[in-house]
Amino acid sequence: MISWNEITSRAENEGRTYLMEHECKELLEKQGISTTGASAARSSAEAVEISNRIGYPVVLKVLSPEVIHKSDAGGVKLNLKNAAEVERAFNEIETAFADKKLAGVAVQKMASPGLEAIIGVSRDPTFGPVLMFGLGGVFVEVLKDVSFRILPVTEADIDALIREIRGYTLLRGYRGTSVDLPALKELLLKISEMVMRYPEIREVDLNPVFLYTDGNVIVDARIFLEKPDAAAPRLSPERESTNLRGLFYPESLAVVGASDTPGKLGWNVFDNLLRHRFTGKLYPVNINAKTVQGVPAVASVREIDGPVDAAVILVPAAHTLKAFEECCQKGIKFIVIESAGFAETGEDGKNIEKELRRLAETYHCRFVGPNCSGIINTHHQMVQSIGTVGELRQGNIGLIAQAGVYAAGMLWGLRHTMDFAIVATIGNKADINETDILEYLGEDDFVEVVCMYLEDVKSGRRFIDVARDVAAKKPVIVLKSGRTEAGKKAVSSHTASLAGDDQIYDAAFRQAGIIRAADNEHMFGLARAFSKQPLPSGDGVLVVSYTGSWGVAAADALSLSGMKPAELDDETYRRLKEILPPYVGCHNPVDCTFDLNPVQLREIIEVGLQSGNISSFIVILQAEILQSYVEELKKIDYQGKPILSCVPCKEFAISEVIALEQAGFPVYSTPEEAVAALSAMYRYAMGNC
Ligand code: ADP
Ligand code: MG
């Protein structure tokens, strides 16, 4: 059998960047994958001889380094039943492709009909090789019903890949036909292993693959090649991971560019640190000032007596390198560069970033930014933001934001209803990136929920591995912007044309067990629920409402999201009947009408808590008497069952909403939003994001 090297060097000698069908099939057979096989015939006599050997019916296909889509121009002749038909088909192909360089005609067995599938591999600039699976024909052509996973994959990933397509029911069995799923999984794993073994493989199209009740067979195959070193630089190089605790809990902090002039960013940052009573030692560094906001200043970090754990740099971009090098020389291990004017402004800025990185590597230190708004850690009273931040409650949410102003700007309001542990803005990510911070937040004891706002992912596959580890411990909610297709990469295969950036991100997030938020409102809604309430242990929900129609909307939303209004068992029914007024029907949703009041609500919940069918609560409350619910809801021992509230027109009762939120009860504007949050918690609890 011909070796991989022989096949690829033959292609290279002929100037081909792809393998012809018979070569692909040979290669696949070598991996233990079953194909229809293919032998090249140079003459019609040879074609007949091969056909006689393999047995009729056979298929003839054009073999040419110049023909990629064989059937388009009549290059595929199916179901040839005897020598005469083979001879005629051979001649027809030869005539039809007279102007093309022919490598012969492929003779192969005619496969019996099966369920048509497509399997492919493409290379994503962020995540590397990506495996695709879907059903053939209209499913892929029209419905684009395909799913993706980043390679390498586990068996669980393959399971999810198969289940995710809408046509999964066809695979599982439909009108008596079903597909050999174990064989399909094995095939997908073998493709994954093959691509990982041969980095020269850039794209693979197996289209079609016939799936049978027993086994499967590859009917057509295309493989595109690329020198691995050409593919490598696409993945951004990364530094080895470092324990970042010192970045979040420094005992001493220098602020280079701290200012004594109100209104300057260097004033804001130092003011934030003082006002929030930073836990460690603070050193303002300013070449022109003797004191900054009453604190004695030095002209350079090198003048500071004693060790310094971390530094914030706020000086203009042109002076950053010098300030940075001085921090390095001082032995500072973590540096936050908040100054802007780097890669985001052009080549010069990019070069400064490269130099910063080189210095960081030389001095074994790590840096955040540039072009960011620093780090906040409420449990260390550390606020490095460039915008003045009001009082922050100590909380359990970790937020990673690419854009500094995004996080800093929103904190002004979000701090009323969301309690953060750590807010890290990462800016240009010239060194420390989203994955490094995520890895640390996974370890931080105060952080129980992680939110990420991302525009891109720098570390590709490592992001998936780290996120998967963190998501197994605490929920990771990601909002990824830039969903539309930007810079389209060069695409050869069908697979690559189907692999849109957003689909790949979606696959990566699913693979990692990340909860993907649709927009900002959704992300914060999820974060408020996850950070304040325990996870539901079942799908049954008791809905209590003051308006019938909103109760019904909640019930609809529950059914659409894989949960349900809990069935009232006899005992719950009896006890509810006792406490409900006669005009209130005893069903779920419980519609108490406008008479709903805090004591009644508490009693209903207390009955619900006794029922095994009820695992969580959604309560729909009147905005006009919202305040009266706060104390009553706090009295209840919820026994680990979550409660979410929905307040129509809540934006007009904002101080009451804040009171309810601060008491630990998330508030939503609509039943659909409340259900979106609750069902995300339920899915997370079930290990299925
Ligand atoms: P193309 O280069 O146009 O994709 P294919 O090899 O996929 O050519 O052939 C076109 C179609 O012909 C396939 O989708 C499949 O339905 C059918 N076909 C091709 N080869 C075989 C075979 N060996 N057995 C059965 N059907 C085949
Ligand atoms: Mg094909």
pLDDT tens for residues 493-518?
777 777 778 889 999 999 999 999 99
Q: Are 369 and 337 in contact (CB under 8 A)?
A: yes
Nearest ligand to the C-alpha of residue 71? 1
Find the length of the chain. 689
Cα 221 to averaged position of ligand 2 atoms, centre (Å): 7
Delimiting residues of CATH 3.40.50.261 domain(s) in the chain = 245-529, 535-685
Order of strands, sheet of 334-337, starting from the edge strand that comes earlier in the sequence: 281-285, 252-256, 310-313, 334-337, 366-368
**661: pLDDT strictly greater than 80:** yes
Report whether residue 195 contacts ligand 1, using a CB cutoff of 6 Å: no
Short-list 613, 636, 611, CA closest to 564: 613
Determine the Cα–Cα distance for residues 403 and 409; give it in Å rounded to an integer: 10
Determine the Cα–Cα distance for residues 419 and 382; give it in Å rounded to an integer: 15
- Lowest mean pLDDT of 359-363, 430-434, 491-495, 539-543, name the range: 491-495
Of all protein residues, the one whose alpha carbon is nearest to atom 20 of ligand 1 is 219
Q: Are 651 and 518 in contact (CB under 8 A)?
A: no
Beta strands in 125-251 (DSSP E): 128-135, 146-150, 201-211, 216-218, 221-225
Nearest ligand to the C-alpha of residue 116? 1
Cα 218 to averaged position of ligand 2 atoms, centre (Å): 10
Residue 640, number of CB atoms within 10 A of its CB: 12
- Lowest mean pLDDT of 47-61, 108-122, 134-148, name the range: 134-148
Would you say domain 245-529 falls under CATH 3.30.750.200?
no
Q: Is 614 left (phi over 0), alpha (psi -120 to 50) or beta?
A: beta
Distance set, CA 279 to CA 307, 384, 400, 422, 661 (Å): 16, 13, 22, 15, 28
Report whether residue 3 contacts ligand 1, using a CB cutoff of 6 Å: no
Cα 141 to averaged position of ligand 2 atoms, centre (Å): 12
Determine the Cα–Cα distance for residues 527 and 633; give it in Å rounded to an integer: 21
Q: Checking DSSP bridges between strand 564-565 and strand 540-545, what pairing results, if any?
A: parallel
Tell me what the pLDDT averaged over the chain comes to: 92
Q: Which of 71, 80, 218, 222 to mutate to test the pocket of ligand 1 (most atoms within 8 A of CB)?
A: 71
**489: pLDDT strictly greater than 90:** no
**381: pLDDT strictly greater than 60:** yes
Report whether residue 76 contacts ligand 1, using a CB cutoff of 6 Å: yes
Cα 153 to averaged position of ligand 2 atoms, centre (Å): 25
Q: Check residue 213 and give its pLDDT.
A: 93
Determine the Cα–Cα distance for residues 393 and 385; give it in Å rounded to an integer: 16
Report whether residue 59 contacts ligand 1, using a CB cutoff of 6 Å: yes
Element (H, E) at 255: strand 252-256
Nearest ligand to the C-alpha of residue 35? 1
In eight-state DSSP terms, residue 177 is B
Determine the Cα–Cα distance for residues 294 and 273; give it in Å rounded to an integer: 13
Would you say domain 535-685 falls under CATH 3.30.70.3420?
no
Q: Check residue 483 and give its pLDDT.
A: 57
Q: pLDDT-based confidence at 127, cuts 50/70/90?
A: very high
Determine the Cα–Cα distance for residues 272 and 220; give it in Å rounded to an integer: 64
Please report the sign of the dihedral spanned by the C-alpha atoms of residue 579, residue 581, residue 582, residue 586: negative
Report whether residue 62 contacts ligand 1, using a CB cutoff of 6 Å: no
Q: pLDDT-based confidence at 235, cuts 50/70/90?
A: very low
**475: pLDDT strictly greater than 80:** yes
Q: Are 133 and 188 in contact (CB under 8 A)?
A: yes
**236: pLDDT strictly greater than 50:** no
Short-list 202, 58, 211, 81, CA closest to 133: 211
Residue 69, number of CB atoms within 10 A of its CB: 10
Report whether residue 70 contacts ligand 1, using a CB cutoff of 6 Å: yes
Q: φ and ψ at 77, to 5 degrees?
A: -115, 115
Short-list 375, 315, 524, CA closest to 324: 315
Distance set, CA 192 to CA 132, 204, 327 (Å): 10, 11, 46
Determine the Cα–Cα distance for residues 676 and 130; give it in Å rounded to an integer: 30
Report whether residue 493 contacts ligand 1, using a CB cutoff of 6 Å: no
Instruction: For residue 139, give both structure tokens.
Output: 């499913």
**386: pLDDT strictly greater than 50:** yes
Taking the CA of residue 21 as reference, the ligand 1 atom at the shortest distance is: 6
Report whether residue 71 contacts ligand 1, using a CB cutoff of 6 Å: yes
Taking the CA of residue 58 as reference, the ligand 1 atom at the shortest distance is: 23
Q: Check residue 73 and give its pLDDT.
A: 82
Instruction: For residue 432, give both structure tokens.
Output: 């420390």
Q: Check residue 234 and give its pLDDT.
A: 41
Determine the Cα–Cα distance for residues 207 and 218; give it in Å rounded to an integer: 8
Instruction: For residue 631, give both structure tokens.
Output: 């104390």
Nearest ligand to the C-alpha of residue 108? 1
**485: pLDDT strictly greater than 60:** no
Delimiting residues of CATH 3.30.1490.20 domain(s) in the chain = 4-109
- Lowest mean pLDDT of 250-264, 390-404, 471-485, 574-588, name the range: 471-485
pLDDT in tens, 532-567: 999 999 999 999 999 999 999 999 999 999 999 999
Mean of the pLDDT values across residues 413-418? 93
Distance set, CA 90 to CA 21, 93, 219, 529, 554 (Å): 17, 5, 19, 67, 66
Q: φ and ψ at 345, to 5 degrees?
A: -105, -10
Q: pLDDT-based confidence at 176, cuts 50/70/90?
A: low
Q: Check residue 459 and give its pLDDT.
A: 85
Mean of the pLDDT values across residues 128-157? 91
Cα 110 to averaged position of ligand 1 atoms, centre (Å): 9
Return the amino acid letter for 577. K
Mean of the pLDDT values across residues 411-425? 93
Would you say domain 4-109 falls under CATH 3.30.9.100?
no
Delimiting residues of CATH 3.30.470.20 domain(s) in the chain = 115-231
Instruction: For residue 348, give both structure tokens.
Output: 């010069």
Report whether residue 64 contacts ligand 1, using a CB cutoff of 6 Å: no
Taking the CA of residue 108 as reference, the ligand 1 atom at the shortest distance is: 23
Cα 155 to averaged position of ligand 1 atoms, centre (Å): 29
Q: φ and ψ at 76, to 5 degrees?
A: -125, 120
Domain at 115-231, CATH from 3.30.420.40, 3.30.450.40, 3.30.470.20, 3.90.226.10: 3.30.470.20
Of all protein residues, the one whose alpha carbon is nearest to atom 10 of ligand 1 is 71
Cα 111 to averaged position of ligand 1 atoms, centre (Å): 9
Q: Checking DSSP bridges between strand 476-480 and strand 515-516, what pairing results, if any?
A: parallel
Instruction: For residue 459, give both structure tokens.
Output: 């570390």
Taking the CA of residue 59 as reference, the ligand 1 atom at the shortest distance is: 23
User: How far is Cα of residue 602 from the mean position of the Cα atoms in its chain?
Assistant: 39
Determine the Cα–Cα distance for residues 364 and 356; give it in Å rounded to an integer: 12
**488: pLDDT strictly greater than 50:** no
Report whether residue 299 contacts ligand 1, using a CB cutoff of 6 Å: no
Mean of the pLDDT values across residues 265-280? 95
**261: pLDDT strictly greater than 90:** yes
pLDDT greater at residue 227 or residue 297: 297
Q: Which residues contact 78 (CB under 8 A, 6 or more apart)?
A: 59, 110
Nearest ligand to the C-alpha of residue 111? 1
Return the amino acid letter for 663. A
Return the amino acid letter for 462. R
Percent of the chain with pLDDT over 90: 78
**595: pLDDT strictly greater than 50:** yes
pLDDT greater at residue 149 or residue 687: 149
Q: Which residues contact 115 (CB under 8 A, 6 or more apart)?
A: 135, 170, 171, 177, 179, 210, 211, 212
Report whether residue 24 contacts ligand 1, using a CB cutoff of 6 Å: no
Mean of the pLDDT values across residues 383-392? 92
